[in-house]
Amino acid sequence: MRKLVYYVATTLDGFIAAEDGTFDGFIFEGDHMAGINAEYPDTLPTQFREALGLQDAPNKHFDTVLMGRSTYQVPGGLASPYAHLRQIVVSTQVTGTPPDVEVVREDVVGRVRALKEEDGQDIWLCGGGKLAAALLPEIDTMLLKIHPVVFGRGIPLFDGKAGITKFARTNAQLFESGVSFMTYERNS
């Protein structure tokens, strides 16, 4: 069975973006970039993959990306940001998407359960915080890029009512840049 994997950058105080949806405070230079990009080239937007010469790199972990409206419509965003993946946007407001972007308007939990039953690689939950809170019961793994920065306010990792759910840390990578890459698996 495929897993739903919440792979996201976060601050020390648990925010995935500033209040306005930007993430300028995250560190985009340093030794963590090469390591993470080499292991997870599938999570780079298609245009960045091309710029880095990774357009032909195989998807190592994911064949599907799931994102909320705000993540999909990030300022300056593309209509098809992850063309190398099956793209699914959860929103009741998004319209006019290209044919390679599926929009789910209702029963997102049911849709995710159906996706998990399909053959293929894992499903990347790219954001945002509201969608992550709604899907917490379905999240199997969390891959957190923890940046050594505090936003004070912003969009939380889980934005909404979410019950207590325990995860076990299964891997930790520490980089000279100060970024920590942590892997957590849902406790059985």
Burial class (CB in 10 A: 0-12, 13-18, 19+), 178: middle
pLDDT digits (tens, 9 = 90+) for 10-35: 999 999 999 988 888 999 999 999 88
Q: 85 pLDDT exceeds 90?
A: yes
Q: 75 pLDDT exceeds 90?
A: no
Q: 156 pLDDT exceeds 80?
A: yes
pLDDT digits (tens, 9 = 90+) for 44-60: 999 888 888 888 888 99
Mean pLDDT for the chain? 93
CATH value at residue 66:
3.40.430.10
Asked if 176 and 40 touch (Cβ cutoff 8 Å), the reply is: no
Structure tokens at 86: 């099956």
- Parent domain of 151: 4-186
> Beta strands 167-174 and 180-186: pairing type?
antiparallel
- 92-101: burial string, b at 16+ Cβ within 10 Å, e else: eebeeeeeeb
Asked if 81 and 124 touch (Cβ cutoff 8 Å), the reply is: no
Residue 71 backbone dihedrals phi, psi, to 5 degrees: -65, -45
Highest mean pLDDT among 67-76, 89-98, 113-122: 113-122
Q: 92 pLDDT exceeds 80?
A: yes
pLDDT above 70 coverage of the chain, percent: 99
Query: How many domains does the chain divide into?
Result: 1
Rounded Cα distance, 173 and 180, in Å? 6
